[in-house]
Amino acid sequence: MLEQLKRDVYEANMDLQRYGLITFTWGNASGIDREQGLFVIKPSGVPYERLTADMMTVMDLKGNKVEGNYAPSSDVKTHLVLYNSFPKIGGIVHTHSLWATSWAQAGTDIPCYGTTHADYFYGSVPCVRNLTKEEIDEDYEYNTGVLIAEYFLNKSGGKSCSDAGDNTEEFEKYIAVPAVLCKNHGPFTWGKSANEAVYHAVVLEKVAEMAAYSKRINPDLQEAPRILQDKHYLRKHGKNAYYGQKGV
């Protein structure tokens, strides 16, 4: 069942290790088949050197295990909530990568200080609040997903940005900023596929590192001008985007 997706999710998980985003088993990636309403996720606590594609676990969108000999990642309920809440995503990644997690532990958004950030994230990468004791005791991982989803779907009515002038084009917040920091915990990223979610996790880590160094060099640093942020995000993602090659 879903053999190609299992291979894709396996490779995405191995890429987290290749790109230096995980230590030991501190991370997971998943991918979804929207037509079948099933997603594939890394098994819990299995060392990366032992992972194989056929060890991936298949889940449905009600949280039931459909196939697999291993228990799914302990973060499976967070992935479940995000897949149910964000219908345009195809993959999710969670890590405890050094720089992004440092911002999460500091409880601080990552401001957009420059164009590298603006190319991928429209505005600050948010750090959402801690869960309450009741939310943790009730269902920690599930409520982590609820907290993330509520932030993105309720923030500005779920919309994030618009083209300047007469060329108005709105972006859903979770598409315009495909990353979040959970306070005192770590980052989650997502994308159209598990591979793109990994890509965003790599970019997030570099952006977090550059932001930390920039703030250290200049403690009074302010965010990049909005017009510059607009230019860089919209030239890649706006309706009149021109970055890259057409059809490639």
Residue 149 has pLDDT above 50, yes or no: yes
Q: Which residue has the tokens 């200049």?
A: 218
Cβ contacts of residue 39 below 8 Å, gap of 6+?
30, 31, 32, 33, 58, 59, 61, 79, 80, 83
- pLDDT reported for residue 136: 98
pLDDT band at 171 (very low <50, low <70, confident <90, very high): confident
Burial category of 47 from C-beta neighbours within 10 Å (exposed 0-12, middle 13-18, buried 19 and up): exposed
Main-chain phi, psi angles of 43, to 5 degrees: -70, 155
Query: Looking at residues 90-107, what average pLDDT do you find?
Result: 98
- Beta-bridge partner residues of 60: 38
Write down the catalytic residue from 137, 139, 213, 243.
243
Residue 67 has pLDDT above 70, yes or no: yes
H runs (alpha helix) in the chain:
3-18, 76-85, 98-106, 115-118, 133-154, 173-176, 194-217, 226-237
pLDDT digits (tens, 9 = 90+) for 103-142: 999 999 999 999 999 999 999 999 999 999 999 999 999 9
- pLDDT reported for residue 170: 58
Question: Do 191 and 91 contact (CB within 8 A), yes or no?
Answer: yes
Write down the catalytic residue from 109, 119, 163, 230.
119
- pLDDT reported for residue 66: 98
Query: Looking at residues 79-99, what average pLDDT do you find?
Result: 98
174 is catalytic: no
Burial category of 210 from C-beta neighbours within 10 Å (exposed 0-12, middle 13-18, buried 19 and up): middle
**Rounded to two decimals, what is the model's pTM?**
0.94
**Percentage of the chain surpassing pLDDT 70?**
93
Helix, strand or coil for residue 212? helix
Helix, strand or coil for residue 201? helix
pLDDT digits (tens, 9 = 90+) for 51-65: 999 999 999 999 999
- pLDDT reported for residue 246: 78
243 is catalytic: yes
User: How far is 49 from 187, CA to CA, in rounded Å?
Assistant: 23
**How would you write 77-114 as a 3-class SS string?**
HHHHHHHHHCCCCCEEEEECCHHHHHHHHHCCCECCCC
- pLDDT reported for residue 248: 67
- pLDDT reported for residue 161: 47
pLDDT digits (tens, 9 = 90+) for 3-30: 999 999 999 999 999 999 999 999 999 9
pLDDT mean across residues, the chain: 93
- Beta-bridge partner residues of 187: 181
> What class, spelled out in words, does domain 3-237 have in CATH?
alpha beta
Domain range summary for the chain, segments of one domain joined by +: 3-237
- Write out the two tokens for 215: 């703030």
Residue 164 has pLDDT above 80, yes or no: no
